[in-house]
Structure 1
Amino acid sequence: MTEFKQFNQRHAKAYQQQRNLIKQVLAGKSCCCEHCQQPLFVVLPGQPQAAGIYCAKGCTAIELEMATSSS
């Protein structure tokens, strides 16, 4: 039972870290990939690549579901 609890705690911590990273990047703050230290960039819907947050080398690839607003 404790292994399952530890797994859930690690998963929750990783989710919170990723959520905070997404918030920072979408707020315009400069963030780097934790693996290659390349800057992260946002790809918006309508571009050739899937919408999300990526680094140049591809070790960070967070695909996001984004809706486009039609006015």
Structure 2
Amino acid sequence: MMSGFKELNKRSANSYQQQRQLIKQVLAGKLKQCESCKQALFVVLPGQEKAPGVYCTKGCTAIELEISLPK
């Protein structure tokens, strides 16, 4: 049973690192595509129509971020 938890934790950590890299690349202006629909990913900043984050047009990729703009 403990082995199952270790595997789950390992997968979660890998997934987190992949998302983190993807977010960094998109925020740096690199063209990245959604793994599901192959549409370009885009950034939504605070004050725009939806929650800040990284999205694709179809909604397959929807990574909401806690972002605050400097005052």
Gaps of 5+ in 1: none
TM-score, L = length of structure 2: 0.96
Which structure 1 residue ranges, 4+ long, deviate > 2 Å from structure 2? none
Identity %: 64
Deviation at 1:7, TM superposition (A): 0.5
TM-score, L = length of structure 1: 0.96
Gaps of 5+ in 2: none
Partner of 1:51: 52
Q: Structure 2: how far apart are the matches of 1:4 and 1:53? A: 29
Q: Structure 2: how far apart are the matches of 1:48 and 1:56? A: 13
Number of matched pairs: 70
| Residue deviations 1:45-66 (CA, integer Å, cap 9, x gap) | 0111110000000000000000
| Residue deviations 1:4-47 (CA, integer Å, cap 9, x gap) | 10000000000000000000000000000000000000000011
SS of the counterpart of 2:25? Answer: helix
